[in-house]
A and B are shown apart, each in its own frame.
Chain A
């Protein structure tokens, strides 16, 4: 899935199957904010093929590690979004208990 040269691992293209703009654009966003990255971009070579190519060129660090770090960053952000969301929604539900009760009641209707 990685296409790069053996002599220089700072430039690589990664080909991800069964992925689309959803992941590629999000990863591109985190990659671009990594100071080690000198270029990154993604493309979908053909719309009817479930494949996305992510190109990464770095200032020296191995592209593979940089991509892994970017995914890690993205995952941490997601985890933070999820925990924030959960606490905020739980908070909202305790503040507006009437609406919460409505949901519970209708859940049990067959």
Chain B
């Protein structure tokens, strides 16, 4: 289609541009940077050329209609020349994006936030969501060295449980371990030694919680099993990590010990019966959610399009009461109007889950209420697991997308 469009508009520009006064076409070509633009501008200024999409098309372009049988107009029109015949330029313009893009924070707390992203395409909103879940790094326990485990929880289950505990530490302070030896820049070591004492005549129970994992800033305390016994006597004994200095001597951690914050301390790792014991060391490294979900920095993150509930006619009295009681999330409200009559109003469209209960009656219902979603308005929710606050996670995600673009550009040039 574009191939057809290009020469057509150029042809038009030649004939039209020549017909208008010379001075005008000159100034236009100067400002527009190209002859075709000047010509197009002239055409657009003609009184009978529509400058905007007709309202019904604009509605289809910007809204999803959630009808009783199925949602319609669900696609987003991306192609630059999609509305060329109607004189609407659908090509990408950064200044338009800058002008129309908006963010509004709805809710913010240390571990979850909700904000509205307005004027953006689902392709980008989804990219941010995907990156948040799978590509923003965190620290998680990857290696568990078990010295003793007499609990009922098997070694592998215990190791898996440990891996899933979110560690409250900024992953940006660490490097990826890859195949390097574990050092103070890429590994965090925790020690866990829990024991349930055996007391005669008592049935003791002990709960091991995340809080019992103690940070070892000097690295592993378990010695490497090497056959050489004489090397141990001369130098420092070799352990499972090779820290060149203590982590708590680093400025980032000197007065900010690594551990678990708030309710993360109460995560139950295992329960011990009397006489049972767990002794282990856990090594945490940096990773991304794509490799394993334990590295995902979010419990989940999602977006939904803004619901729009429109009453197509005045709904009064009985019908108003009926519709109000039908809605399970209380979208509608009833307003008293003159002479004892009641009128239905849409009070909380944002709460609408599009259950479509209000239009369930078919034709009749659809004529009364129209349920829509705004295509470029996303209600974005981020639930952080605790490593980083949600706003930092989002900026990190955007940065990752930027670096992906950068990689492609540098690969191509």
Contact = CB atoms under 8 A, between A and B. Distances in A.
Interface residues of B, number: 56
Contacts of B123: 25-26, 28-29
B78 A85 contact: no
A79 B127 contact: no
Contact of A71 (B3, B126, B408): B408
A25 B126 contact: yes
Of the listed residues A59, A82, A102, the one surrounded by the most CB atoms of chain B closer than 10 A to its CB is A82
Interface in A40-95: 59, 64, 67-68, 71-82, 84-86, 88-89, 91-93
Interface stretch (B66-74, B107-115, B278-286): B107-115
Contact of B262 (A27, A73, A92, A106): A106
Interface in B236-269: 256-259, 261-262
Interface stretch (B97-105, B155-163, B343-351, B352-360): B97-105
Interface residues of A, number: 54
B412 A64 contact: yes
B207 interface: no
B135 A22 contact: yes
Given A22-B401, A75-B405, A34 B110 contact: no
B257 A32 contact: no
Interface stretch (B12-20, B86-94, B190-198): B86-94
Contacts of B402: 75, 78-79, 82
A103 B91 contact: no
Contacts of A38: 1-3
Interface string B350-394: 000000000000000000000000000000000000000101001
A21 B109 contact: no
Nearest to A93: B108
Given A38-B1, A82-B395, 19 more contacts: A14-B412, A22-B126, A23-B127, A29-B124, A33-B90, A35-B91, A75-B409, A78-B398, A81-B124, A82-B398, A88-B104, A96-B108, A99-B108, A103-B109, A107-B261, A109-B261, A109-B262, A110-B256, A110-B261
